């Protein structure tokens, strides 16, 4: 089956999958970083989640729908592996072990999305921003100093708050010496406090 896989490279900002397009392949990330988002009323976007290397991009809807109900956009130079969905299904039909493994991995990934969404929902503005900063530091970059791959507007689209309040709160974190940053270059100075804010607002 892996002989049937094709690789595609995308530049930062390029759209990899368009919302509404037909699902032909099962895809996963070989390198880079992507965001999953969807269009909501009045032309705004809502960011659903981010995916790292070896995360599946084909998550939602891959087996339950014929079209994507979300857009996948590269946030960095990204290489995607695509496997023809029909061929994958043919293998899955014959190989229960493979399918069970696949199901486990998809289950893990959707679990994370759901729990992350629930966590964000129960937090207030400050807690949500602390959550996002910690998410990129701990989960994506594994470093307290990193280059934020998204704009303040995209943070807002992810946490469901306004861009102005994201900027304002980050400025406040800077004033309080919790963060240092220059544009997208971010450093967590007081991780303990940031974690407290993430947990208790």
Contacts to a copy of itself by CB under 8 A: 38, 40-41, 46, 48, 60-65, 69, 89, 92-100, 102-104, 106-108, 110-111, 113-115, 117-118, 120-122, 160, 199-200
- Residue 45 Cβ vs a copy of itself, minimum distance, rounded to whole Å: 10
Residue 147 in contact with DNA, rule: CB under 7 A: no
Query: From the CB of residue 138, how many other CB atoms can be counted at a distance below 10 Å?
Result: 14
146: alpha, beta or left? (left if phi > 0; alpha if psi -120 to 50): beta
Nearest CB to DNA, comparing residues 56 and 181:
181
- Residue 9 Cβ vs a copy of itself, minimum distance, rounded to whole Å: 28
d(CA 47, CA 153): 11
Residue 54, phi then psi, degrees to nearest 5: 70, -5
Residue 125 in contact with DNA, rule: CB under 7 A: yes
Residue 151 in contact with DNA, rule: CB under 7 A: yes
Q: Which residues contact 100 (CB under 8 A, 6 or more apart)?
A: none
Subset of residues 162 to 181 that bind DNA, contact rule: CB under 7 A: 162-165, 167-168, 170-171, 181
Q: From residue 162, how far is each of 28, 38, 72, 156 by CA, in Å? A: 31, 17, 22, 5
Q: From residue 115, how far is each of 59, 79, 109 by CA, in Å? A: 15, 27, 10
- Residue 195 Cβ vs DNA, minimum distance, rounded to whole Å: 18
- Residues forming contacts to DNA in the complex (CB under 7 A) are 124-126, 151-153, 160-165, 167-168, 170-171, 181, 183-184, 201
């Amino acid at each position: 089956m892996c002989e049937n896989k094709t690789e595609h490279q995308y530049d930062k900002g390029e759209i990899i999958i368009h919302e509404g397009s037909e699902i032909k392949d099962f895809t996963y990330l070989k390198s880079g970083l992507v965001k999953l988002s969807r269009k909501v009323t009045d032309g705004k976007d809502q960011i659903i989640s981010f995916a790292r290397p070896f995360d599946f991009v084909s998550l939602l809807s891959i087996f339950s729908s014929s079209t994507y109900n979300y857009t996948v956009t590269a946030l960095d130079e990204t290489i995607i592996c695509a496997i023809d969905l029909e061929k994958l299904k043919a293998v899955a039909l014959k190989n229960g072990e493979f399918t069970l493994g696949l199901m486990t991995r998809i289950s893990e990934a959707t679990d994370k999305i759901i729990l992350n969404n629930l966590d964000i929902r129960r937090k207030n503005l400050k807690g949500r921003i602390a959550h996002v900063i910690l998410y990129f530091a701990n989960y994506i970059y594994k470093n307290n100093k990193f280059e934020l791959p998204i704009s303040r507007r995209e943070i807002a689209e992810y946490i469901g708050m306004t861009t102005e309040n994201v900027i304002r709160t980050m400025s406040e974190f800077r004033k309080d010496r919790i963060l240092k940053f220059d544009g997208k270059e971010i450093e967590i100075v007081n991780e303990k406090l940031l974690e407290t804010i993430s947990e208790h607002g």
